[in-house]
Structure 1
Amino acid sequence: MSSKRPTFKRYDQQQIMLLPPSLEELVPEDHPVRVVNDVINRINIAPLHAAYQTKGTSSYHPQMLLKVVVYGYVSNIYSSRKLEASCKESVYFMWLSGMNFPDHNTINRFRSVRLKDALRNIFEEVVLLLAHEGLLSIEEVYTDGTKIEANANRYTFVWKKAIQTNKEKMKKQLTQIWEYAQSANDGDDLPDPPDFTTIDKEKVQDTVNKLNEVLSKKENIDKKLKAKLNYVTKNYPTNIARYEAQEAILGDRNSYSKTDTDATFMKLKEDHMRNGTLKPAFNVQISSSNQYIVNYTIHPNPTDTTTLTGHIAQYEKSFGSAPKIVTADAGYGSQENYSLLESKGVTAYVKYGMFDKQQSANFGKKHPFSADKLFYNEQKDCYICPMGQQMDYIGDNHRKTSTGFIQTSRKYKAKKCYGCPLNGACHKSKGDRVIQVNVELESQKKRAHNLLNSEDGIAHRKKRCFDVEPIFGNIKHNHGFKRFMLRGNEKVAIEWGLIAIAQNIRKKAA
């Protein structure tokens, strides 16, 4: 039997050091915390100083707090309470804060109040610093969007359609009671029912008052109708006032959450129930270069198509001009967006809806009679149908988009489709075939098609997949940021700005 015993390194918690180690020695030279420290030290944070009062007690230095918050987002610590604990427990946070210990209220107030007007400038400073180092370009960007769930209750919501339905019921009920009042008025003058095409709280209140005035003089009133009138009197003025307030909050949106009225219900990819349930969320748009975030905007509408105007406007505000090259997927391919980019001299490698399908060799075989396959006679301004008959111009169709942009299409109608051997294959309508052609949009699509299939266009399309899209995957899945912690547009923009700065610093550190 062996008498040997295992050997251990010395362990003595009470050992006193002659020269205690400094925090500087405990932080590795290549650690990301040093990158955070270096970047924040090199940018101008003067706009942040304006958020502080010149009177009163001294405050924690904003540069220190900014470093703590940014490094927290770099290391996946988003909670103000966890940041407070980290300043007391983590060597890296202690080194960064200079052994200051701000509490969670100070950190939260700094993040949501102090940074409100300064964070965009800080983000831009970081981007320009990285551009100066040659790590990214602010002239050639890739644009995409994702939806991030809001910090809001998923089951307390307001829907525009429900409001409209309830208002229609109110109109119908008031009209029925008014018609009864007219029939029971015994010859007394009662004006025709009010115009209920649109209703507001003043119109509803006046109608209710008039009905009560007329019917109060009658003795034999139908009990059911009297009950309806009592219900209308008690509830309708209050309800219509609430609907008007809700519609003011909705604006152009279709829904919002009661616990964060800036959040809109959207369909998210992170649907663990796999039932297509809508959740309150924000549409986050970014432009990237070399997997660095160059620009970001927050939008309440779920479709990417309507976000580009505001996104480019923010880009111009940040850097003085629009980027020279923008690459984006088919979600941005609209007449309004093509016109916007053309007017600003931007080379747009932006797909349109059918671009990918048109690349298939079988596309033409599957849709041989589509409008874009028909021959156009420019001199006679007519199309020729598959049977060789003229389709003459019959007028224009104007459509206003949700953003107010006017699209104009020219309509062409065929003759004598009844009895045609291709009827049913050429088109599915019962009468003569009518096609609508948006001349401007078709011209833009042709230019986009040529650009996208050029040598540079193919290169940009390939690069887009591994430039902008991995950023969202990294933030959501590698760093666990799938839901905002703050509420409201302003605070959500602050939070995403910190996420964007953290992404850029992580990329630089890597």
Structure 2
Amino acid sequence: MSTMNTNFKDYNQQQNWLFPPSIEELIPSEHPVRLVNGVVEQLDLSQLLSEYKKNGQPSYHPKMLLKVMVYAYMDNTYSTRKIEKAMRENINYMWLSGKQVADHNTIARFRSKKLKTIFKDIFKQVVLFLADQGLVSLKEVFTDGTKIESVAGRYTFVWGNAIKTRKEKMATQLEQLWQYAQSIADHEDKDPTPPDFTKVGKEKVAQTAQKINKILSNNPKAGSKQKAKLRFIEKNFSNNLDRYAEQEKILANRNSYSKTDPDATFMRMKEDHMKNGQLKPGYNVQISSQSQFIIHYSLHQQTTDYHTLKPHLVSYQKLYKTLPEIIVADAGYGSEENYEYLEQNDVEAYVKYNTFDKENQTYKPKKKKSGKEDFHRDTLHYNDKEDYYVCPMGQKMENKYDKKQQTTSGYLQKISVYKAKNCKGCSLRTLCHKAKGNRIVQRNHKLERYKEITRRRLNSELGTQKRRQRTADVEPVFTHIKSNRNFKRFTHKGIDKASLEFGLHAFAHNLKKMIA
């Protein structure tokens, strides 16, 4: 058999090393694992160390576990079993851990219990380190939010409106049975003052059922169906009210929650794989960025962004003992409450309101104009000095009264109401308004003042620059985390654990950005 001429490098698995190499020699000097090691070595971990008891079996050093955890998230490795496997087999993890191998349970306990309360302090130290290096500034932030799905079951939900409907149905059933009992009751058993069924409580159900039972049990006219309904009420209503009360306690100010993750609220996800806008349990994640570094993050149960800005900045101030001097955000945050909060705290706000883009014609209309746009309240002339509107036919709409209304967050707004004097017989009536009487428009003077300040600020040369800068700063951060790191769903239940999970992603993102 002929042999071919070959030119291969020597290959011998039995070759011995005269001087076996150390792991240190096998890690390139510019490898990301060295950055992780260097950054963690500079951190003050006294709070983390205080989480451990002095007595008992020796624990793995938290500094080592933190290095491994952070590098794992940079490496897109989130499973504790996979991290344990990497500590056995991956040379980078072996170098960080000093060849120690922690089992997956130890790693999971470290992540969920030891880091839970103190991780924000560790994250803050890294941000301050970035600021010292001149990579970021805490004076200006770009804020945006995204919704990330919870690990909870997608079809195990509780709805606040459903609870309200069930309680109303219970009240209706109880009232109907009470009226039936009164219709067949003897004169001495009739109740001249009927109970108030607008609110149903356990005590009222018990008292009313007792009165109904007294009438039905002693009256031969009582029907068997009504007696069966009474037995059902006595057996179930009290337990149902207890269950609804517990569910309403969990809901607080929300309209929904997941049974398998009560902290998660049902929200519409942009990244819905079925492309049909399904509601899924999730959290509203808010970040403030600077130069595409994440300066601050917070998780919220509210579905709308304008309810999250104030608590997001409150937690920012708690963490850094100060607020940013400038904030840039999109129209989802433009509300009277937010503008007032920013003004009171001397934060220069470049925050759009909901009609800003429409006013600046930066949108594409989905359908043809109907002509009714010319009669919108914002197109009517308003006389600021004498405080009146002018309708399309030229008649004055004077201020009739002021009213107060409360937002879902509890914020009180003052609304002025203006009314036309005579709309009867007006040729523009069908285009102007559909109400039966004279046309009424409402004006929030404080909000209009904030909108005028914001309009001038955003349309300035500096404002235009910051609006463009926002889309290039904060939005790519979410794209990187969701698409490049494939983080589209939390793996832990509860808002505290989910917050820690996102924090680890934010920490890893900042370190990878440092490398870039």
With the length of structure 1 as denominator, give the TM-score of the two structures: 0.97
In structure 2, the residue matched to 1:281 is 282
Which whole-Å CA distance do the structure 1 matches of 2:21 and 2:362 have between them?
Answer: 69
8 Å contact kept, 1:416–1:432: yes
In structure 2, the residue matched to 1:57 is 57
Deviation digits for residues 280-311 of structure 1, max 9, x if unmatched? Answer: 00000000000001011110111001001100
Q: CA deviation at 1:366?
A: 7.5
Deviation digits for residues 21-76 of structure 1, max 9, x if unmatched? Answer: 11111111111111111111111111111111111111110111111111111111
In structure 1, the residue matched to 2:340 is 339
- In the alignment, structure 1 residue 178 sits paired with structure 2 residue 175: no
Q: CA deviation at 1:461?
A: 0.3
Aligned to 1:188, what secondary structure does the other structure show?
helix
Deviates more, 1:417-426 or 1:77-86: 417-426
Alignment of 1:352-371 (within 5 A): 352-360=353-361, 367-371=373-377
With the length of structure 2 as denominator, give the TM-score of the two structures: 0.95
In structure 2, the residue matched to 1:17 is 17
Which whole-Å CA distance do the structure 1 matches of 2:262 and 2:396 have between them?
Answer: 54
Alignment: residue pair count: 510
In structure 1, the residue matched to 2:324 is 323
Which whole-Å CA distance do the structure 1 matches of 2:404 and 2:441 have between them?
Answer: 14
In structure 2, the residue matched to 1:123 is 123
- In the alignment, structure 1 residue 302 sits paired with structure 2 residue 303: yes
Distance 1:238 1:86, change over 3 A: same
In structure 2, the residue matched to 1:460 is 466
Aligned to 2:65, what secondary structure does the other structure show?
helix
Q: CA deviation at 1:405?
A: 0.4
Which whole-Å CA distance do the structure 1 matches of 2:233 and 2:5 have between them?
Answer: 91
Deviates more, 1:223-232 or 1:203-212: 203-212
In structure 2, the residue matched to 1:243 is 244
Aligned to 1:463, what secondary structure does the other structure show?
helix
8 Å contact kept, 1:152–1:257: yes
Distance 1:24 1:275, change over 3 A: same
Residue from 491, 495, 511 that aligns with 1:505: 511
Q: CA deviation at 1:116?
A: 1.4
Deviation digits for residues 208-236 of structure 1, max 9, x if unmatched? Answer: 33333432223342121112112112111
Deviation digits for residues 226-268 of structure 1, max 9, x if unmatched? Answer: 1211211211111111111100000100100000000000000
Q: CA deviation at 1:501?
A: 0.6
In structure 2, the residue matched to 1:112 is 112
Residue from 391, 410, 419 that aligns with 1:413: 419
In structure 1, the residue matched to 2:66 is 66
8 Å contact kept, 2:372–2:431: no
In structure 2, the residue matched to 1:164 is 164
- In structure 1, what residue type is equivalent to 2:184? A
Deviation digits for residues 392-417 of structure 1, max 9, x if unmatched? Answer: 11112322111100111111111221
Deviation digits for residues 97-145 of structure 1, max 9, x if unmatched? Answer: 1111001110100000001111010010010001110111111000000
Q: CA deviation at 1:447?
A: 0.4
Q: CA deviation at 1:375?
A: 2.6
Alignment of 1:383-462 (within 5 A): 383-462=389-468
In structure 2, the residue matched to 1:210 is 211
Distance 1:380 1:452, change over 3 A: closer
Which whole-Å CA distance do the structure 1 matches of 2:492 and 2:419 have between them?
Answer: 55
- In structure 1, what residue type is equivalent to 2:255? N
8 Å contact kept, 2:147–2:282: yes
8 Å contact kept, 2:184–2:221: no
In structure 1, the residue matched to 2:235 is 234
Distance 1:211 1:55, change over 3 A: farther
Aligned to 2:430, what secondary structure does the other structure show?
coil
Q: CA deviation at 1:147?
A: 0.5
In structure 1, the residue matched to 2:475 is 469
What is the RMSD of the two structures over their aligned residues, measured on CA atoms?
1.8
Aligned to 1:421, what secondary structure does the other structure show?
coil
Unaligned runs of 5+ in 1: none
Which whole-Å CA distance do the structure 1 matches of 2:385 and 2:477 have between them?
Answer: 51
Which whole-Å CA distance do the structure 1 matches of 2:267 and 2:313 have between them?
Answer: 23
Unaligned runs of 5+ in 2: none
Which whole-Å CA distance do the structure 2 matches of 1:346 and 1:366 have between them?
Answer: 38
8 Å contact kept, 1:175–1:193: no
Which whole-Å CA distance do the structure 2 matches of 1:136 and 1:287 have between them?
Answer: 12
